[in-house]
Chain A
Amino acid sequence: MKPAPFKYIAATSLEHALSLKAEYGDDAKFLAGGQSLMPTMNFRLAQPAILIDLNRIESLGGIRPGDAGGARIGALTRYRTLERDSGFAQMFPLIAEALPHIAHPQIRNRGTIGGNLSHADPASELPAITLALRARFHLQTAKQKRQVEASDFFLGALTTDLQPDEMLVEVELPLSKPRTGSCFMEVARRRGDFAIVGIAAMMTLGDQDECTHIRLTFCGVGETPIDASSAADSLIGSVPTEEAICDVAASVQAIIDPGGSVHATADYQRHVAGVLTERALQTALQRVRDGH
């Protein structure tokens, strides 16, 4: 239960960190909050030769206003920072609602947004939420920058589009449309555990209370966060009824293909996904109508 030997380098700037990664590639790992990487190193599942500590690069953390009214979150921003920011919670109620489900207070004090997303655990909440919010990921190497949509970032379990010399430096969250209600729910074995099924739902209504947009994403039911928004196509254009929402739940159950585990069979996951779809859409709908 001790990490294998490695060489530790505390990067002093983003440029320093990226030049080290360019030099060492896959032999090196970035160390952000360490709440996923350190356990795997303690178990020796990960044995990086070089550890590039990002924690002293202050410019990598913090929340900045986005170009079109949204927000840009630095990769080194800790969950706790988001949790304590009431303005952020107001702007992104979906994230605020999910944060208490993400591990425990001690973990949230250290864990970072960029670390979580780069780790890309399919049972983790944040990847599914960034997918629902249509987040844009800013990636950078020593030589160039590029942007990737959340829908193109997660390629498989613990696998992302990040190249060996690349770092996720910022997450750009667009502002939701007016009259959008959101809801995050999950079923886990214990508070703070990874979800057996988690759902992030967003519903936008038009002037006549007709549904104009729906985002429906899941964690825990596949190799990546799953976008099942198409299951709600039938809702678009009409005022959502209870019956129509039940049909969406059935359609979600047909779309997803959960893997099952020792803790929950695939059938059980599919059942829970249906139940959560109904509840989350009803809640999101109620929230738009209540005006929050």
Chain B
Amino acid sequence: MDTDDHDITVSVNGVCYQRRVESRMLLSDFLRHDLALAGTHVGCEHGVCGACTVLLDGQPVRSCLMLAVQAETHEISTIEGLTDKDGAYHPLQQAMHDHHGLQCGYCTPGILMTMTAFLAENLSPSEDEVREALSGNLCRCTGYQNIVDAVLAAAKRMRG
């Protein structure tokens, strides 16, 4: 059977890519294999773990539950785009480092994408709001406490 291929144009971290993809190619696999942006991690591949979270037009979504072909004309942001141009950490990355917010690090890119989008909308979150926003990202190492601490610290720093 001939494969069902489509030409797509996608913007990832502000860079425009034109590729030919098979329709069944998941966005997560497209980012990792076709664009070599392997910072987006793949965990459960059915929308439960949150490791593959990326931003679609600024909103966090599961990249394992989207087809690459659906990203046509949309803006995708991944963990690779989180540092600023001279490589300085985003305040949340720095806070995760300072507060020991990661151990094995597998869930970290998804958590950073989810929580940076969350902080962009709410710079003065309560701890409960942080935990609610984190609820779609599984971490099996930290017990979440240090991640929550890091997000609250980053929010404080970003408030200035």
A and B physically associate: yes
Chain A stretch 25-72: residues in CB contact (< 8 A) with chain B: 31, 34-35, 38-39, 42-43, 51, 53, 55
The majority secondary structure among interface residues of chain B is: mixed
Which of A5, A35, A43 makes the CB contact (< 8 A) with B65?
A35
Contact with A along B49-78 (1 / 0, CB 8 A): 010010010011110111101101000000
Which residue of chain B is the closest to A110 with respect to CB atoms?
B61
In contact, B23 and A7 (Cβ under 8 angstroms):
yes
B114 interface residue, CB < 8 Å from A? yes
Residues of A within 8 A of B114 (CB): 105-106
Q: Tell me how many residues of B have a C-beta within 8 Å of chain A.
A: 33
Q: Given A3-B24, A105-B114: A42 and B46 within 8 A (CB)?
A: yes
In contact, B46 and A39 (Cβ under 8 angstroms):
yes
B3 interface residue, CB < 8 Å from A? yes
Which residue of chain B is the closest to A55 with respect to CB atoms?
B70
A55 to B114, CA, bound (A): 22
Which of B62, B66, B67 makes the CB contact (< 8 A) with A8?
B67
In contact, A191 and B62 (Cβ under 8 angstroms):
no
Which residue of chain B is the closest to A53 with respect to CB atoms?
B70
Q: How far does the Cβ of B119 sit from chain A's closest Cβ, in whole Å?
A: 13
Q: How far does the Cβ of A186 sit from chain B's closest Cβ, in whole Å?
A: 14
Interface size class on chain A is 20 to 34
B84 interface residue, CB < 8 Å from A? no
Contact with B along A82-120 (1 / 0, CB 8 A): 000000000000000000100111110110000000000
Residues of B within 8 A of A262 (CB): none
Residues of B within 8 A of A191 (CB): 132, 135
In contact, A8 and B135 (Cβ under 8 angstroms):
no
**Most-contacted residue by chain B among A35, A39, A103, A106 (CB, 10 A):** A106
Chain A stretch 197-249: residues in CB contact (< 8 A) with chain B: none
Residues of B within 8 A of A42 (CB): 26, 45-46, 64
A4 interface residue, CB < 8 Å from B? yes
B6 interface residue, CB < 8 Å from A? yes
Cross-chain pairs A/B with CB under 8 angstroms, 22 sampled? A1-B45, A2-B24, A4-B24, A5-B1, A5-B23, A7-B23, A8-B4, A8-B23, A10-B72, A38-B65, A38-B67, A42-B46, A51-B23, A53-B70, A100-B132, A104-B136, A105-B114, A106-B60, A106-B61, A107-B47, A110-B56, A110-B61
Beyond A35-B47, A103-B136, A104-B137, 5 additional contacts (C-beta under 8 Å) are A3-B24, A6-B4, A34-B66, A104-B135, A110-B66
Which residues of A are at the interface with B, using a C-beta cutoff of 8 A?
Answer: 1-8, 10, 31, 34-35, 38-39, 42-43, 51, 53, 55, 80, 100, 103-107, 109-110, 190-192
